[in-house]
A and B are shown apart, each in its own frame.
Chain A
Amino acid sequence: MSALRLLAALLALIASTSAHAHATSTTYLVATETSERLAITWDLPVAELHWALDLDADGDGRILWAEIETHHVAIESLVLGQLAVAMQNVACPATLEDLLLTSHASEPYLSLAFRARCPVSGPLAIAAGLFLDASTSRRTLIDITTAAGHFTATLSSHEPLWLEPEVPSALATFIDFIGQGTWHVWIGYDHLAFLVLLLLPSVRRDSKVGEMSRDLLKIVTAFTLAHSITLALAATDTVRLPVQAVELTIAASIVVAAALNLCPAAGHWRLPLAFGFGLVHGFGFANALAEIGSQGTRLVPVLAGFNIGVELAQLSVVAVLLPALLWLRNSSFYAARLVPAASVAMMLAGAAWLAARA
């Protein structure tokens, strides 16, 4: 075949984009640190191992499991030569314990189970260079769980080594996420709108301060309790709701709360609604938290910090709003105009957000 005809044949497929779903080679490495050892599972494509070692012993075009098992030693030698594990810069010798079959994206993979014993404890380092040669499209996806936390990373020929990052202390994480929680509420106009709508009717012209405070406290506590519960449920992946549905309901909650303020007779609905919609707002906070991401950090300081941040922000809003409302309530303007006007304005805003999020 002439060189050009060869090329022309090749060009026949130039138009073919994403022609090859697996025009890429991916291996998967999972490492879990336990008290006694490091358990590593490395899944490698059978096709790649075949090319490296020729697994088809009888050359009949079918790779049998028995044929793979006869290559056990060769496979072990090949793979161990490309796997380096260390803790605190001291090498952890690894041994192959088992060879099993699995699959990823509809392709057969060999799953190699290793055990590594680390003489010294400390930050983990893993180099998994098998098949990460000059080919720029090969990757090793790693998934590591150590005492410090859970990490994921992607190794390539540019970056064949993973080093455990320094994880901030629980206290540092806690404080950091208090800030995150506070910030999120301050920029969260929908949460603020809902909160303000709940508060407006608390401040009545004819009530005593003590009574008002109790009413306010009940509403805010109900809201806080509810969103703390769902934030925890969602952040721990116990309950998952679709993001769009949550955002829509939050927008709807504003419309409903505003409508409620326009019907003073329905006042007894405020507490159950504060709780009920508080549950949904909690899922909203969880979505925000997920977007911030918390790789490698522990859940408790993140969740506790974020939640406290949210409460602090709410308290700050109440602290600012309350004196202003107390001052205003004695004017007839307040009950007659301010509460309904503000409620209508926020109802319209809520309706607009509802439409936008739909």
Chain B
Amino acid sequence: MKATAIVVIAVLALVASTAEGTQAFRPAAGAVVMTVPARVSGDPVAILERALRDDKRNVRLVTELAALYLERARKTREARYFNRAEVLIQPWLAAPTAPAALLNVQADILQNRHEFAAAREVLGHAVRAEPANAGSRLLRATVNIVQGRFDEARPDCLAVLALGESSAGTTCLAQVLGGTGRIAAAEKLLRAREGALDAWGLGVLADLATRRGNTDDAEGYLRKALTLEPANEAIRAALCDLLTERGAHAEALALLDHTNASYGLLVRKARVQSLLHDPALTRTREELLELESLSERRGDVPHAREQALLALYVERDSRRALAMARVNFETQRETIDIRLLAHAALASGNREALAELQQWLRATRFEDRRLGS
């Protein structure tokens, strides 16, 4: 059976080369078309879905199920759960008395689509409705941090701490400190609770360590985080980037051996393959092109960060890389986005762009030793 599954999937994967799809065919009756989570008794999602069917107007059930969908989306990398959550909460959003927990779900869906301004607005409503909902504060802080708005995030991180969530609040605060000139303090804060950190905390600690030049420590944190959450793409991508920059290309490639790789991971794969002069690069580029043309036909907004990565490290088109990096910087200002802008500006010899970035770095006091700041 497994062999059949492998064969079917392999055939589909091999033949699939155009956006229009492969030649349709009739498989054998016993062929495995797709694997899904097996039906288990006691599956919380199934239980909630059943409960909801009997009690459709129960907003608490709706919120719980929606949050569970989001968790499952991240655990299984099956992003359609986001769609399900969105559909589920839709009828409730119009209501003026939508509870904060529900608004948190909506904001999470929005930020996942990079609609950060919309997410912040929704969270503003949530915080006003329930000032003691730590989740709303944490989510808003994190959206602000992603956008490099550390000062705006600080009060929310402190509020999370004040509401009794010390673990999440500490990681939140560490990010703010790290972004505003107190990176040593930030690192210290997290290292004090290193043993108890979740994947998110470890990811932040790894980021701080990298920015201080301790890539060995960073690698350790990232590897540990990945064992805790193997489906976490941000962690995987960060580790891959670290290994690639160190020259451990084969290791980096091993991390990326995924079916259904996301666009971001495919770009990293292409980068490493390009460095290794691996002939499989052609196939990876085809896959990327396929995803891009699909995205274009759908009218989706392109992912500027990944486009910049692709342009800089695979296509070696520094002008396009800078253009994309700048567009990206408008919405996202995480460490990777900052470095991307710096490298693209350097590669294309654009002093003006570099100066602008340096000005922002000085104003926020964001530290990254690799940037010389």
A residues apposed to B, CB below 8 Å: 3-4, 6-26, 28, 41, 43, 46-48, 50-51, 56, 59-66, 68-69, 100-109, 111, 113, 133-139, 141, 143, 152, 154, 156
Chain B, Cβ-Cβ closest to A23? B79
Which A residues touch B348, using CB under 8 A?
none
Known: A19-B74, A64-B32. 4 other contacts (CB 8 A): A13-B234, A25-B80, A51-B84, A64-B33
Distance between Cα atoms of A103 and B332 in the complex (Å): 34
Residues of chain B with a CB closer than 8 A to A7's CB? 67, 104, 135, 138-139, 168
Contacts of B237 in A (CB 8 A): 16
The residue in chain B whose Cβ has the minimal distance to the Cβ of A61 is B38
Given contact pairs A47-B80, A51-B84, A101-B26, A20 touches B35 in the complex (Cβ within 8 A):
no
A10-B70, A23-B82, A65-B31 known; A17 vs B24 contact (CB < 8 Å): no
Interface residues of B, CB < 8 Å — how many?
Answer: 90
Q: Are B24 and A20 in contact, with the CB atoms below 8 A?
A: no
Please determine whether A139 and B199 come into contact, CB atoms closer than 8 angstroms.
no
Q: Are A26 and B298 closer than 8 Å at their CB atoms? A: yes
B residues in contact with A25, CB < 8 Å: 80, 83
- Is B134's beta carbon under 8 Å from chain A? yes
Q: Which candidate, B106-114, B214-222, B271-279, B355-363, is the interface stretch facing chain A?
A: B106-114
The interface residues of chain B lying within 8 Å CB-to-CB of A8 are 138, 165, 167-168, 198, 200
B124 in the interface (beta carbon within 8 A): no
Q: Per a CB cutoff under 8 Å, which of A4, A101, A104, A139 touches B19?
A: A104
Q: Find out whether the CB atom of A11 lies under 8 angstroms from the CB atom of B261.
A: no
Q: Is the CB of A28 within 8 A of B260?
A: no
8 A-B pairs with the lowest CB-CB distances in the bound complex, closest first = A59-B39, A20-B79, A61-B38, A12-B200, A16-B234, A23-B79, A134-B90, A100-B24
Given contacts A106-B13, A133-B87, A135-B87, contact A4 B24 (CB under 8 A): no
Chain A CB within 10 A, most for which of B73, B83, B259: B83
Q: Pick 16 A–B contacts, CB within 8 A, sort by A.
A: A3-B135, A4-B134, A7-B138, A13-B234, A21-B264, A21-B291, A24-B298, A43-B24, A46-B34, A61-B35, A64-B29, A100-B25, A102-B22, A102-B23, A106-B12, A156-B299
Q: Does the CB pair B135–A4 fall under 8 Å?
A: yes
In the complex, A134→B233 CA distance in Å?
A: 27
A68 near B33 (CB under 8 angstroms)?
Answer: yes
Across the interface, which residues of A come within 8 angstroms of B303, CB to CB?
Answer: 17-18
Contacts of A12 in B (CB 8 A): 74, 198-200, 203, 229, 232, 234
A326 to B188, CA, bound (A): 87
